[in-house]
Amino acid sequence: MLELKNVEIYYGKIMVVRGLSLKVEEGEIRAILGANGAGKSTTLKTIMGYIEDQPEKGSIWFEEERIDGMKTEKIVPRGIAYVPEGREVFPELTVRENLMMGAYTRKDRDVDTDLVKVFDYFSVIKDRLKQLAGTLSGGEQQMLAIARALMSRPKLMILDEPSLGLSPLLVSEIFEIIRSINRAGTTILLVEQNARKALSIADHAFIMESGRIVLEGSPEKLSENEDVQEFYLGVRQETSVKGYQRYKRKKRWR
């Protein structure tokens, strides 16, 4: 459905993504994992056409159509919805207006049925249609952002760190919703730092480090990998650091 072929992205003069290729198949949830600065968000922004003149090299295909170099407003109507990192709602628009903006590119007038559909996933939102989005709590804003993206009836939904800054309970809830959206037929591409959660719902995952995909495969396969366990899943967490010998001796001041 979505395919990146050997993509190279520069940010200013610095190469951020080096020869990235990945594929998202229809009906799947795919996750990209990786630390800060690995180039995950940049990749997503490039797919969405945010970064001018990028990618420098390579191509991006969506449903047999080349979309790199296209403007965002041309990409969205083709069926990709993007939920940016950090709950980017329109704070001074009402919840309803926010949702309407999600349907901006749609020409048909049948928005109301979609609203009903969205309420199925997010019951909280229904009662708050007239409230300003800025007054919602963090979790509600994240839900609104996802709901808004749904309004464009996307074939593919791209989420950038939906769990960022949310409490464990809310994270579980949101991931549950993502899974049900997927079951209803929307393909999902997810970028996450919370590897544990992401792997629990993904069909296939990529691990990205400094602009490259270093590992990919099914969640099971990845979970078995030792490096992944150590650096992404924090498996040794149950034993406390208190008992550990520090591997780095810090210099003392004074």
Q: State the residues that interact with another protein by CB under 8 A.
A: 12-14, 35-37, 48, 50, 71-73, 75-77, 81-84, 88-93, 97, 100-102, 104-105, 135, 137-139, 145, 148-149, 152, 164-170, 172, 193, 230-234, 237, 240-242, 246, 248, 250-254
Distance, in Å, from the CA atom of 106 to the CA atom of 187, rounded to the nearest integer, reads 19
Least separation in angstroms between residue 208's CB and another protein is 12
Helix (H, G, I), strand (E, B) or coil at 242: helix
Least separation in angstroms between residue 66's CB and another protein is 18
Residue closer to another protein (CB basis): 25 or 214: 214
Residue closer to another protein (CB basis): 59 or 210: 210
Least separation in angstroms between residue 154's CB and another protein is 10
Least separation in angstroms between residue 155's CB and another protein is 14
Least separation in angstroms between residue 21's CB and another protein is 22
Per the document, the length of the chain is 254
Residue closer to another protein (CB basis): 25 or 68: 68
Q: How far is CA 81 from CA 74, 132, 144, 145, 159, in A?
A: 12, 22, 14, 11, 8
Residue closer to another protein (CB basis): 16 or 25: 16
* Amino acid letter for position 196: R
Tokens of 10: 């520069």
CB contact at 8 A, 89 and 98: yes
Q: Rg for the chain (alpha carbons), in Å?
A: 19
Helices of type H across 37-88: 40-47, 72-75
Residue closer to another protein (CB basis): 140 or 202: 140
Helices of type H across the chain: 40-47, 72-75, 95-102, 111-121, 123-126, 138-150, 168-183, 195-201, 219-224, 226-227
Least separation in angstroms between residue 181's CB and another protein is 17
Residue closer to another protein (CB basis): 25 or 224: 224
